[in-house]
């Protein structure tokens, strides 16, 4: 019994000489093999997805390329063949491959890097991902006179996406992407309307694109989904587009414009990074318009670097006119950027009779000053009242023009 008692009373941490078995180190081969296999599978997946892709994994489409005999003299391919590249008006068809490609806005890269002795016809299947958007973009020059976006001459690829830049020959986005004026420069009463808040609700955006006349400019917020498709559709329908940049209001963050808001307290480089993220959300905009921002636009020290960055990228600037303390015009003029300011907010009171009254005021201002700019939100009511007003505006001597008209030499908004 003594031995049993000793066993019971011996502390658990105590050692018992002669009882302990020598320990052995066991190699966890199963875990090592499992981890190694997982690492190889992940590495292989990354390699197949990116390393073999010359575009680095970026979305792209595969197009069927076929060759045709070179164009000689007046031997122009049939209209159906040219339509595969773009809808080129018959009176603008050229007799050489290079000229046709230049007219279409499509860049073709050949294996030998030259024009070659054969033309190249690119056919994009209608059911291919993104095919509809690409065909819409290709038809822009013929249908609206607008340049497809992004235009390589004024585009810069960055980690935030494709950002606008001033072209080597001085081309600027506000001019390149604008809707060409339709002979309205001599009109005595011109009106520009900017409808904001597009891109967040797809149904509201589609309604605005469909219902509003092409000369109404549309401003897209940077937070929507499928922005590139929606912007492409808007431009295909003839609408100029602008980019809304979220800026700090006085009651921020209780009143929050959203992520990537440019603020007074942020360092200039931090605000520049946020601005680049916003700019990279889609292409084809002529300029920026503030989204909120009463506090930021009233702070010259915080505002100036932002305006200078916008100007350095060839963009125009529109002050939405909601803050009487805004210094946007002064900062933009100091940076040599095209700038204008909206004088009215059409739907500040979102009721039909109030909107109609503001549209009447807009007409009066256009008649007395020659040019007037107003903003409105993409509320269904606002879109309906603006569309109804625009349908009869020309009969009252009012010419509706895109916002870019304010940035051209003949108008000093």
- Which of 81, 115, 143 terminates a domain? The answer is 143
Give pLDDT tens digits along the chain (413 positions).
444 445 545 454 444 444 455 556 566 666 676 667 767 666 666 555 555 444 444 444 555 554 444 433 444 444 344 333 334 444 443 444 555 545 444 545 554 444 444 445 454 444 444 444 444 444 444 445 688 999 999 999 999 999 999 999 999 999 999 987 665 556 789 999 999 999 999 999 999 999 999 999 999 999 988 999 999 999 999 999 999 999 999 999 999 999 999 999 999 999 999 999 999 999 999 999 999 999 999 999 999 999 999 999 999 999 999 999 999 999 999 999 999 999 999 999 999 999 999 999 999 999 999 999 999 999 999 999 999 999 999 999 999 999 999 998 544 43
Q: Name every residue whose Cβ is closer than 8 Å to that of residue 344 and which is 6 or more positions away in sequence.
A: 321, 358, 361, 362, 365, 372, 373, 374, 375
Find the CATH number of the domain harbouring 265: 3.20.20.370
Q: Are 260 and 306 in contact (CB under 8 A)?
A: no
* 74 Cβ contact list (under 8 Å, min separation 6): 95
Query: Is the distance from CB of 173 to CB of 164 less than 8 angstroms?
Result: yes
Are 139 and 243 within one domain?
Answer: no
pLDDT for the residue 45? 60
Query: Does some domain include residue 104?
Result: yes
Nearest Cα to Cα of residue 221 among 161, 178, 261: 261
- Is 256 in the same domain as 353? yes
Same domain, 297 and 215: yes
Q: Which domain holds residue 401?
A: 161-407
Within-domain flag for 7: no
Alpha-carbon distances, residue 301 vs 148, 294, 321, 325 (angstroms): 36, 14, 20, 14
In a domain, 17, yes or no: no
- Whether 270 and 364 share a structural domain: yes
Specify whether 192 is located in the same domain as 86. Answer: no
For residues 108 and 243, state if they share a domain: no
Provide the whole-model pTM. 0.68
Q: Is residue 394 part of a domain?
A: yes
Task: Check residue 259 and give its pLDDT.
Answer: 92
Same domain, 130 and 184: no
Cα-flanking dihedrals φ and ψ of residue 218, to 5°? -115, 135
How many folded domains does the chain comprise? 2
Provide the Cα torsion 268, 273, 275, 280; round to 10°. 160
Q: Are residues 265 and 377 in the same domain?
A: yes
Residue of 282, 316, 255 whose CA lies nearest to 263: 255
Whether residue 134 is contained in a domain is answered as yes
Q: Dig out the tokens for 90 from the structure.
A: 């018959």
- Note whether 292 and 221 are same-domain residues: yes
Q: Which of 73, 108, 143 is the last residue of a domain?
A: 143
Which of 110, 143, 176 is at the close of a domain? Answer: 143
Same domain, 266 and 400: yes
Residue 334 near residue 303 (C-beta atoms within 8 A): no
Does some domain include residue 202?
Answer: yes
N residues, the chain = 413
Count of CB atoms situated within 10 Å of the CB of 365: 18
User: What's the confidence (pLDDT) of residue 139?
Assistant: 40
Q: Is residue 254 part of a domain?
A: yes
Q: What pLDDT is recorded for position 323?
A: 95
pLDDT at residue number 94: 40
Q: Do 189 and 74 share a structural domain?
A: no
Residue 120 shares a structural domain with residue 255: no
Residue that is written with structure tokens 């491959």 in the block: 97
Instruction: Tell me whether residue 367 is in a domain.
Output: yes
């Amino acid at each position: 019994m003594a031995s049993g008692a000793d066993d019971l009373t011996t502390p658990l941490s105590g050692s018992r000489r002669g009882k302990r078995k020598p320990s052995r180190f066991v190699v966890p081969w199963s875990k090592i093999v499992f981890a190694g296999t997982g690492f190889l599978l992940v590495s292989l997946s990354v390699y197949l997805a990116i390393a073999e892709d010359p575009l680095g994994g970026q979305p792209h489409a595969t197009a069927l390329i076929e060759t045709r005999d070179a164009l000689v003299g007046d031997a122009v391919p049939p209209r159906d063949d040219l339509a595969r590249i773009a809808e080129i008006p018959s009176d603008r068809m050229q007799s050489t491959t290079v000229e046709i490609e230049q007219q279409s806005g499509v860049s073709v890269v050949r294996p030998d890097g030259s024009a070659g002795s054969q033309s190249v016809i690119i056919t994009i299947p209608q059911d291919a991902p993104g095919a509809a958007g690409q065909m819409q973009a290709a038809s822009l020059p013929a249908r609206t006179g607008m340049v497809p976006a992004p235009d390589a001459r004024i585009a810069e690829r960055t980690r935030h996406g494709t950002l606008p830049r001033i072209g080597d020959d001085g081309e600027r986005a506000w001019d390149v992407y604008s809707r060409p004026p339709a002979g309205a420069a001599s009109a005595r009463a011109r009106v520009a309307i900017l409808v904001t808040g597009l891109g967040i609700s797809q149904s509201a955006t589609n309604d605005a694109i469909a219902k509003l006349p092409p000369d109404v400019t549309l401003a897209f917020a940077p937070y929507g989904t499928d922005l590139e498709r929606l912007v492409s559709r808007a431009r295909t329908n003839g609408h100029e587009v602008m980019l809304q940049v979220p800026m700090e209001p006085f009651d921020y963050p209780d009143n929050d414009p959203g992520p990537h808001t440019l603020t007074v307290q942020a360092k200039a480089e931090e605000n520049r990074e946020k601005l680049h993220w916003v700019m990279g959300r889609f292409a084809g905009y002529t300029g920026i318009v503030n989204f909120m921002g009463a506090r930021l636009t009233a702070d010259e020290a915080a505002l100036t670097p932002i305006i200078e960055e916008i100007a350095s990228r060839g963009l125009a600037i529109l002050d939405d006119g909601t803050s009487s303390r805004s210094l946007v015009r002064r900062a933009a003029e100091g940076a040599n950027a095209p700038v204008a300011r909206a004088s009215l907010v059409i739907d500040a009171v979102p009721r039909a009779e109030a909107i109609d009254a503001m549209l009447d005021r807009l007409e009066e201002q256009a008649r007395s000053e020659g040019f007037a700019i107003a903003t409105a939100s993409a509320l269904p009511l606002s879109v309906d009242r603006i569309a109804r007003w625009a349908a009869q505006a020309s009969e009252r001597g009012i010419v509706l023009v895109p916002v870019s008209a304010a940035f051209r030499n003949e108008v000093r908004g």
